[in-house]
Structure 1
């Protein structure tokens, strides 16, 4: 826990987490639950049953007004023309240099209404960049920071659909589609949004209630998760789950020092669009070839990989640096993500310099774990 925890922001369920014995930690300026029953138990529950995460620290913002979707499409990397109203899209806010200010989810509600979920620490920066772009045009759109207007819960795992059905919540039509729904709690109707997405690789949902409704919605979800032999899960398990899938995390695989080409997420860029922030720089890097590439590393020695350590070749020369590293509860083995020299190939045997000790690893293509979900 941060020494300055009193200065950290609290989500709508802060007291619930404290009362239920959560180990709390700082995430993007917010004090959030790291674990309850332990990272391994919570991780395993998501892979085998169901887990419920409070991720209300995530940002929220809105673009409204005539042409809101077209405006968002001129700013953000992905192509909103690929989806229609009622669908969500993973996209990026880039710098002029083509590196990543933030990765976020854009909910296309209508051509005049786009709801955004950035990362917690970057919400204000994304809103400020959008507002600056709006003012540079005609300033007619409304760009609103809604960070503390909504909670966000992630329900993940093979039994997540059963939990939703037990609560009478609708199933969105497809992966990355969303619906507005009503949950009846104690005779009162509570409005929320349900999106078929998540950050674990498992079948799952992200549920977005109003901030003031969040505790009641959480209690209803938690009760059904318990009936399904699932667990409340903290952000520690969320990190091990996403690392097993090879999913990028801002501040690790993505940053203002890393481009989407280097990170291997060029699929989140609308390359044929006429405009998005950082377009010219990114096109130039793509044409010239990125100086680094992202790979997965599977430990072949006993030990746990760590983030931000050197990757060495057989001769001991530095060929990269890890961006994430952890123990995979599913595999019972160490895994890592790294940015390495383009000459590194799948199947190469390398080593990590862990405080002067070499940990052998093999270069692989993520995901490290195969799940029975077609997203």
Structure 2
């Protein structure tokens, strides 16, 4: 987003305040409809090019790209000095995550990567081409996300493999990422988030600046904050080794259906299954819970989210 007033447009669209975002800062936020339902969860950055041109970058979920572009376009008419450019097809993102991410990235880039604070970013160059580096990720681990030109992605990836060889750097797919984000208690759009779910039910009130500003969905969210949500997201640990998968019913001790699992699977880090679920807020403290796993009721214990938190360095 370029032009005078881009921060005001984003303030209008997002649950998180953008107008006070300093250059180099990044914030997690949500885009909601008028009813407070989540259209997407996003990252917004305030960046500056080497030529001192400032702009805002919005990173959305790839599956929601078309929907979000369509949602934003009508609002641009109210901000005639702002231009929006979709760079998705021109760029690629590489996520370097884990305790050795700093070492690996420092070997590749000429800048001191460790100087970047969590949820901050900057533009640098690699092989003479611009690279946006942000200290962000979707794994619960420390790490970086690199936004590069699409034609340079293969070259940068090969060099990462080369410089990271001695550090155990290796490719990881969506399955590994999904396990890590579940252990970290991070919501995934289409599972813990969709247009029928509001941020407060999802446990994301921290990402909603409700006071002293207006944005799409603000009135609905203020009402939920005042009255309470009808459902809440909780963490569950099923007994035994059988994982509870998305769609499994969550039952109360008396066998009544009170919710459903949105994500679940084995946790290699913890050595047992974990699951996230939405349950009726009025019954969220009733234990023990049960989960219907393929027709069999399995006892489950409620636990705090995140299931696992990396040790502080």
- Report the TM-score, using the length of structure 2 for normalisation: 0.93
- Offset of residue 82 of structure 1: 4.9
1:312 is aligned to 2:255: no
- Residue 67 of structure 2 aligns with which residue? 125
The question of 1:160 aligning with 2:160 is answered: no
Higher mean C-alpha deviation, range 163-172 or range 279-288: 163-172
TM-aligned CA distance change 1:69 to 1:327, over 3 Å: same
**Residues 1:113 and 2:55 aligned together:** yes
After superposition, the C-alpha distances for 1:313-355 in whole angstroms (9 at most, x for unaligned) are: 1111111111111110111111000111113456832111112
Return closer, same or farther for 1:206/1:347 CA change in 2, 3 Å cut-off: farther
2:42 corresponding residue in structure 1: 104
Provide, for residues 99-133 of structure 1, a one-character-per-residue CA deviation record: whole Å limited to 9, x for no partner: 10101111112696211110011112212222211
1:287-308: per-residue Cα shift (whole Å, max 9, x none)?
1211000110012223111011
Q: Name the CA shift for 1:220/1:311 in 2 (closer, same or farther; >3 Å).
A: same
Name the stretch that deviates more: 166-175 or 225-234: 166-175
What's the CA shift for 1:200? 1.0
CA contact (8 A) 1:194 1:205 kept: yes
**Match for residue 176 of structure 1 among 119, 126, 137:** 119
Supply the distance in 1 between the matched residues of 2:18 and 2:214 (Cα, whole angstroms).
12
Output the CA distance in 2 between the equivalents of 1:159 and 1:255.
Answer: 34
Unaligned runs of 5+ in 2: none
Where 2:281 maps in the other structure, the secondary structure is coil
The equivalent position to 1:350 in structure 2, one of 289, 293, 300, is: 289
Counterpart of 1:365 in structure 2 is 304
Q: Please give the per-residue CA displacement for 1:114-163, whole angstroms capped at 9, x wherever unaligned.
A: 1111001111221222221111x143311122111111011000011110
Matches within 5 A, 1:316-327: 316-327=255-266
* Separation in 2, partners of 1:286, 1:139: 34
Looking at structure 2, the residues matched to 353 and 145 of structure 1 have their Cα atoms a distance apart, in angstroms, of 43
Report the equivalent of 1:140. 81
Using the TM superposition, give the Cα deviation of residue 225 of structure 1 relative to its aligned residue in structure 2, in angstroms: 2.7
The 5 Å alignment of 1:1-375 reads 63-109=1-47, 113-135=55-77, 137-168=78-109, 169-171=111-113, 172-183=115-126, 188-345=127-284, 348-373=287-312
What RMSD in Å do the two structures reach over aligned CA positions? 1.7
Count residues with an aligned counterpart: 307
Q: How big is the shift at 1:71? A: 1.4
Alpha-carbon distance in 1 for matches of 2:97, 2:79: 42
Shift of 1:192: 0.2
Relative to the length of structure 1, the TM-score reads 0.78
- Measured in 1, the distance between the counterparts of 2:208 and 2:76 equals 21
Is contact 2:245-2:275 (8 Å) kept?
Answer: yes
Measure the CA separation in 1 of the matches of 2:70 and 2:59: 14
Q: 1:173 & 1:367 partners in 2: Cα distance?
A: 24
Bigger drift between 344-353 and 111-120 goes to 344-353
Q: Secondary structure at the match of 2:132?
A: strand
Distance across 1 between alignment mates of 2:306 and 2:119: 19
